[in-house]
Copies of this chain bind each other. A is one copy, B any other.
């Protein structure tokens, strides 16, 4: 993974040079801060965040130095202020209007999941191409015909789209985004897509995640000492957990 993205455009309008791994850790710091605040804490040290998030305190401090924010030596960070600074960095200091394309099981689940305002997003529209789905309710919303996407993006000021459609439909959805103000796509369709200039894509393939895990997880027969046992396979983790907080620099 590219370690440094020079002059990445931050939503606040500032040009920032933020390494992708640092950006990826910010939501996790925010989650940890939210939990600390909920438990009554008003300050958090880099050690607190390091412990909760499973990274080194030096990495926490370096990451947080990307924010326009400073802690007080010996006191730590004001928890509420730091959470606000991270939200601002991520562009979720206001609820960002989001659309979900695909009203199947996954799209519906995502629409509900992302409707929690704590995440920073407001799901404003759910789209589908199937006549049987259009007009049906998803939470408080009514499924909209995908052909209305450009108009709805404009009318609802949608800024990000979540794509949860079958593989063979993904490219046509991405193509429909060209010319709209949408600048970010979270693609759950299990297929690479060609994206219009100026549009960012993050790809999440749920089966892929499980397949990668599968490579590193021996079968229970092997783990239990069945055929062709792997010496020590059941006794220790062969490598650090590849979670989002895996330390890298």
Contacts and interface: CB of A to CB of B under 8 A. Distances in A.
Interface centre among A6, A197, A204 (most CB of B within 10 A): A204
Interface residues of A, number: 109
A203 B237 CA distance: 16
B243 A206 contact: no
Interface centre among A20, A121, A160, A202 (most CB of B within 10 A): A202
A139 to B, nearest CB: 10
Interface string A20-55: 110110111011000100000000000000001110
B113 A211 contact: no
A160 to B, nearest CB: 6
Contacts of A217: 11, 91, 159-160, 183-184, 200
Given A186-B213, A246-B1, A199 B237 contact: yes
Contact of A210 (B53, B54, B119): B119
A26 B211 CA distance: 9
A159 B219 contact: yes
Given A215-B91, A220-B182, A208 B244 contact: yes
Interface in A228-249: 228-230, 233-248
A213 B200 contact: yes
Given A92-B214, A215-B91, A192 B10 contact: no
Interface centre among A201, A218, A228 (most CB of B within 10 A): A218
Interface in A1-25: 1-2, 5-13, 15, 18, 20-21, 23-24
9 nearest A-B residue pairs (beta carbon): A184-B217, A181-B220, A109-B109, A13-B228, A203-B243, A119-B207, A183-B217, A5-B239, A27-B208
Interface of A: 1-2, 5-13, 15, 18, 20-21, 23-24, 26-28, 30-31, 35, 52-54, 89-92, 96, 98, 105-106, 108-110, 112-114, 116, 119-121, 157-160, 162, 167, 181-187, 190-192, 195, 197-224, 227-230, 233-248
